[in-house]
Amino acid sequence: MSNTILAQDKSNKNTSTKNKMTQLINEQFSFAAQQYKVLSKNVAGDVMPKTFNTKTNKVETSDTKWWCSGFYPGTLLYIYEYTKDSEIRAEAGKRLAILEKEKHYTGNHDLGFMMYCSFGNAYRLFGRPEDKATIDTSAASLATRYRPSIKAIQSWNSSKIYNCPVIIDNMMNLELLSWVTDNGGDAKYKEIAITHANTTIKNHFRPDFSSYHVIDYDLNTGKVLKKITAQGAADSSAWSRGQSWALYGYTMMYRFTKDKKYLDQAKNIAKFILNHPNLPEDKIPYWDFNAPNMPNALRDASAGAVVASALLELGQYANKKEKKLYLTSAEKMIQSLASDKYRAKLGENGGFLLMHSVGSIPHKSEIDVPLTYADYYFLEALLRYKKWYL
């Protein structure tokens, strides 16, 4: 077969994939606008949606201090960005108004999730000075949790269980700090983010680039006391969402610093995930890569959504061969999540988009249910695909 015919075949295949993904993205955002109007009617005005209880057939909610409180307004903003639906924008505005006070919250490390996924997107879309002021104050609040003795941000407060715990999820909150420094804020915020990322590389990862969930430090000496899990199958296991946070976090840190060690770290984490023998054919991970009862273990759609979004960004920094792998893997994840197996029907699932996420099996909490962050990162992946690959 001639090179001309091969090139034509490749071009036709690329066009077909682009057409298919364009249609998929259009359909998902059209559905999301309708479905989130259902969700908004199921949630009182002073709280945020959390999950849907299939036994009681009711949406469960949280106050604005819950670590997921920024995902609902953030998801609404992603829907508005694509659809320009004024009703969706108005709902986002109402939810931002009740969340704004949490810019002063210092009770844990989750200010990035809470305030950057929400107000960060609002400022990106609308450029309002008051939203930037909220983001700046949030970074100052988050920075109070930095502990020089351990060279990291303390995730949770000390307790009978932990001395000074740092969890892999904390990588996600470094985006808030880095962005504020890069947009006129104090240089110390990004310095904290870089120091935290370096400490995490040193202490959180195994030789195969899988991550422990929790590292508990001695706050006085900075010594690692134990490497354990809170939400995974075992201390030594690779909890799937933890791996997704790690992949996303180091890809994002490369964006802000262009430090090659973060890019290499992200690529090695991607290799661990994508080459893992326990990654299912549809590429939506089991809740833990070492979960018992495979292949009947529960999947975690939220982990799949975060990985898909992260891979699409990682592809922007990769060579041609790597980019193709990341892109085709993300495509498969997106197509799986958009299928009837994972995506709800209109009016069902309490108004959430995706089914089959797992919060914490060890805590018997949010098991095989919709979760706000699964929806958020799913739509983020769709927007990234449209922006970078169509």
Q: What's the chain's Rg over C-alpha atoms?
A: 20
Task: Assign domain 25-389 one CATH number from 3.20.20.80, 1.20.210.10, 1.50.10.10, 1.20.1250.20.
Answer: 1.50.10.10
CA 146, CA 174: separation in Å to the nearest integer? Answer: 11
Residues of the chain with pLDDT under 70: 1-2, 4-9, 11
Binding-site residue set: 110, 169, 229, 241, 245, 360
Give me the pLDDT at residue 54, please: 87
Supply the residues annotated as catalytic.
110, 169
Q: How far apart are CA 256 and CA 243, in angstroms?
A: 20
Instruction: Break the chain into its structural domains and give their ranges.
Output: 25-389
* Cis preceding-peptide flag for 295 (omega within 30 of 0): yes
Give the Cα separation of 213 and 241 in Å (integer): 9
Give the model's pLDDT for residue 6: 60
Give CA–CA dist 313/69, Å, rounded: 24
CB 253 within 8 A of CB 197: yes
Residues 6+ apart with CB under 8 A from 318: 267, 326
Q: Is beta strand 224-228 parallel, antiparallel or unpaired with respect to 146-147?
A: unpaired
Contact 100, 136 (CB under 8 A): no
193 and 174 Cβ atoms separated by less than 8 Å: yes
CA distance 250 to 171: 7
> For residues 128, 130, 133 and 137, what is the CA-based torsion angle, rounded to 10 degrees?
-130
pLDDT of 156-205, one tens digit each? 999 999 999 999 999 999 999 999 999 999 999 999 999 999 999 999 99
Query: Looking at this protein, which amino acid is placed at residue 149?
Result: S
Nearest-angstrom CA–CA distance, 267 and 276: 14
Angstrom CA distances, 9 to 3, 28, 319, stand at: 10, 28, 22
Whole-angstrom distance, CA of residue 24 vs CA of residue 26: 6
Q: Which residues are annotated as a binding site for substrate?
A: 110, 169, 229, 241, 245, 360
Give the residue from 351, 372, 364 showing the smallest Cα distance to 57: 351
Residue count of the chain, please give it.
390
- pTM score above 0.95: yes
* Rounded-to-integer distance, Cα 180 and Cα 119, Å: 12
Decide: residue 60, CB within 10 A, 0-12 exposed, 13-18 middle, 19+ buried: middle
Residues whose CB falls within 8 Å of the CB of residue 70, separated by 6 or more in sequence, listed in order:
99, 113, 114, 115, 116, 117, 118, 119
- Specify the pLDDT at position 15: 87
- CB 211, CB 204: distance < 8 Å: yes
Query: Any idea what the Cα angle at residue 248 is, between residues 231 and 389, rounded to 5°?
Result: 135
* Cβ contact 151:199 at 8 Å: yes
Question: Tens digits of per-residue pLDDT, 32-79?
Answer: 999 999 999 999 999 999 999 988 999 999 999 999 999 999 999 999
